[in-house]
Amino acid sequence: MAAALALYGLWVLTTCLMEGLPNTLLRPEAHGLRIAYTTVANLIVGTLGSMLLLRRLVLTGAVTAPEAGFGRPRRSVVSVTLGAVLGAAFLAAQDPPAVPLVVIINVFAQVLPVSIAEVLVCWSIIGSVAVSSVDQRAGRTINAIVLTAVASVAFGVYHVGHSPPFNSPTMIALLTAVGVVTSAVFLALRDVYGTVMFHNFLAVHGVLRTLIETGKVTEYATPMAPLLITGIGSVALLMVARMLVLRDATPRRQGLTTR
């Protein structure tokens, strides 16, 4: 748990220094700063850091790879499809602002590296480690409650490091509730890839609202190559890191069922 909290603290700190203080996500023109924030806070600390720690956790028997959301590839394919359908349906139900498709694509790509880091740190690491500390005889219901509570609160509190309005107490409380929804999907799918897909749709809705309220949505009306490149790069890093870091990681204890 100490290692998990240390990673979480470092991730929040780098987010604060590179996004919250300079308001990076509210400045579409700040291409260099956005790339630096995405690279350091989300790709290096949030994604690669999480995978390196996860390997250690699996090798020591603290958690199993399936518990952390890394099961068979076939499961991931199905989960990504379900996550996309659920996420798109949830976005449509929220009556999203009427904007050109290119705006949604740009925003989706912008928040994707962040969503990957969020799911890895809050659910795969913090949530799974919290469950591993519970008496294994407690049962699936207690485990699910523990994971939901810990991961959702971690996700909400993490936003203190973000730019306005995401760092306000009201928004943090709302995002904690959003974390409960993501927790339900993570528990149902038990797959990082499918959870990221669903979670990213939730993030798209929130960022779109903010861009419209701040009058910056028109700046996303043309394809933004840096966003698309970092979005694709974050997925590639997650896939490569999974192969390199977990390939020899054999679970040494029995944990939550993945069925």
CB 173 within 8 A of CB 153: no
Residues 111-154 pLDDT 10s: 999 999 999 999 999 999 999 888 666 688 899 999 999 999 99
Start-to-end CA distance of the chain, whole Å, equals 26
Higher pLDDT residue, 250 or 228? Answer: 228
* Residue found by looking up tokens 């994971």 in the block: 147
Q: What single string gives the DSSP state of each residue in 53-102?
A: HHHHHHHTTSS-TTTTT---HHHHHHHHHHHHHHHHHHHHHT------HH
Q: Is 251 within the bounds of a domain?
A: no
pLDDT at 253: 47
Q: Is 132 within the bounds of a domain?
A: yes
Q: Is 259 within the bounds of a domain?
A: no
Residues 11-51 pLDDT 10s: 999 999 999 999 887 776 777 888 899 899 999 999 999 99
pLDDT at 139: 81
Nearest to 203 by CA among 98, 109, 65: 109
Residues 45-89 pLDDT 10s: 999 999 999 988 988 888 888 889 998 888 889 999 999 999 999
234/107 Cα distance (integer angstroms): 14
Domain residue limits at 200: 2-246
Higher pLDDT residue, 221 or 78? Answer: 78
Q: Is 256 within the bounds of a domain?
A: no
Nearest to 1 by CA among 138, 170, 132: 132
Q: What is the DSSP letter of 163?
A: P
pLDDT at 258: 37
Q: Which residues of 151-187 are buried (b: 16+ CB within 10 A; e: fewer)?
A: bbbbbbbbbebbbeebeeeebbeebbebbebbbebbb
Residues 98-110 pLDDT 10s: 788 898 898 999 8
Q: Is 236 within the bounds of a domain?
A: yes
Residues 142-191 pLDDT 10s: 999 999 999 999 999 999 999 888 899 999 999 999 999 999 999 999 99
Number of domains, the chain: 1
Q: What single string gives the DSSP state of each residue in 149-192?
A: HHHHHHHHHHGGGSPTTTTSHHHHHHHHHHHHHHHHHHHHH--H
Q: Is 31 within the bounds of a domain?
A: yes
Q: Is 168 within the bounds of a domain?
A: yes
pLDDT at 216: 78
- Average pLDDT (189-210) is 90
pLDDT of residue 251 exceeding 60, the answer is no
Q: Is 254 within the bounds of a domain?
A: no
Q: Which residues of 114-140 are buried (b: 16+ CB within 10 A; e: fewer)?
A: bbbbbbbbbbbbbbbbbbbeeeeeeee
